[in-house]
Amino acid sequence: RIQNIDAEIASINTFIDAKTEAKKEATALIKKYEKQQDNVKNNRLFEAINKEVDLQELELKLNDKHIKDANFELKDRANQRLKTEEKIKDVEGALKAKKAELEKIIAETEKEETVLADKSTAAKEKVDPRLLAAYERIRGSYSNGLAVVPIHRDSCGGCFNVIPPQRQSEIRQHKKIIVCEHCGRILVDADLNETVSGKLK
């Protein structure tokens, strides 16, 4: 936004310079025509020169107006720039605080993450390689990394599609691994999920 404002300020300054130059040219022409008026030999030529003088005086006034309006715009853009800089300072301050907060959270969870990673490595050794490969594949397919999800309110905890009662009954029996027909995640009942979550804590 500051870059855009700076570009607008530069454009306005160029416009002011052009109009100032046009003013100088109009003033020079007025002086030139006024000198010519002293040497005219007939009324017709005098009136023609007079018209040119009037025209250049109008041009002068118009350039003055343009310069005045442009200066007003320039002040407005300068105020906008100042406000934007203040906003940037506020946002940078908030960002610094959030970064410090995040670093603190990362430091706090690093130990927990290491413990869980060790538990995960130990558990992987006890699982059938084919099942582990399928689990890793499912896990890699989703941005949240969830391959095993519980049933909540008769729905899959991953994609929230409804699980039929017969399917839910089969999941509660824990006889085989059952995946969601819609998203492919492994389904577990809420009781097993809570038990495992409790052990991890």
Residue 183 has a CB neighbour count (10 Å cut-off) of 18
Mean pLDDT of 46-58: 89
Structure tokens at 21: 């130059």
pLDDT of 63 reads 93
**Taking 80 as the threshold, does the pLDDT of residue 122 lie above it?**
yes
Structure confidence by residue, pLDDT tens digits, 124-182: 888 888 888 888 888 888 888 888 899 988 899 889 899 999 988 998 898 888 889 88
Residues in CB range of 200: below 8 A, 6 or more apart: 116, 119
Model confidence, pTM: 0.46
Residues in CB range of 20: below 8 A, 6 or more apart: 63, 67
Residue 156: burial class (beta carbons within 10 Å; 0-12, 13-18, 19+): buried
SS3 84: helix
Burial 5-43 (b: 16+ CB within 10 A, else e): beebbeebeebbeebeebbeebeebbeebeeeeeeeeee
pLDDT of 38 reads 79
Structure confidence by residue, pLDDT tens digits, 173-193: 988 888 898 898 989 988 887
Amino acid identity, residue 109?
Answer: T
Structure confidence by residue, pLDDT tens digits, 100-116: 999 989 888 888 888 88
